[in-house]
Amino acid sequence: MTKETQLQVEAIKNGSVIDHIPANIGIKVLKLFKMHKTNERVTIGLNLPSSALGAKDLIKIENVYISEEQANQLALYAPNATVNQIENYEVAKKLNLTLPQHIHGIFECPNSNCITHGEPVDSSFNVITKKEDIQLKCKYCEKVFSREIVTELR
Ligand code: CTP
Ligand code: ZN
**Of ligand 1's atoms, which has the minimum distance to the CA of residue 58?**
15
Ligand in closest contact with the CA of 97: 1
Are 92 and 65 found together in one domain? yes
Split into its structural domains, the chain has a count of: 2
Are 19 and 49 found together in one domain? yes
Q: What is the CA radius of gyration of the chain?
A: 17
State the Cα angle at 137 between 132 and 140, rounded to 5°: 170
Are 90 and 42 found together in one domain? yes
CA of 154 to the centre of ligand 2 (A): 15
**Domain membership flag for residue 5:** no
Strand-pair partners of 94: 84
Q: Is residue 24 a contact partner of residue 59, using CB atoms and an 8 Å limit? A: no
Asked if the model's pLDDT at residue 4 lies above 60, the reply is no
What tens digit of pLDDT does each residue of 76-131 get?
A: 888 889 999 999 999 999 998 999 999 988 889 999 999 999 888 999 999 998 87
Residue having the nearest C-alpha atom to atom 19 of ligand 1: 91
Are 19 and 88 found together in one domain? yes
What is the rounded distance in angstroms from the CA atom of residue 111 to the CA atom of residue 84?
36
**Domain membership flag for residue 9:** no
Query: pTM for the whole thing?
Result: 0.84
Asked if the model's pLDDT at residue 35 lies above 60, the reply is yes
Q: Is 138 annotated as a binding residue?
A: yes
Are 70 and 111 found together in one domain? no
Are 139 and 106 found together in one domain? yes
**Domain membership flag for residue 4:** no
CA of 145 to the centre of ligand 2 (A): 10
- Domain end marker among 96, 122, 142: 96
What is the rounded distance in angstroms from the CA atom of residue 126 to the CA atom of residue 13?
37
Cβ < 6 A, ligand 1 pocket: 7, 11-12, 17, 19, 58, 60, 82, 84, 86, 89, 91
CA of 28 to the centre of ligand 2 (A): 22
**Domain membership flag for residue 112:** yes
Domain at 112, CATH number? 2.30.30.20
Global ipTM: 0.94
CA of 83 to the centre of ligand 1 (A): 9
Are 115 and 85 found together in one domain? no
Domain that holds residue 108: 102-152
Q: Give residue 132's pLDDT band: very low, low, confident or very high (50, 70, 90).
A: confident
Are 46 and 83 found together in one domain? yes
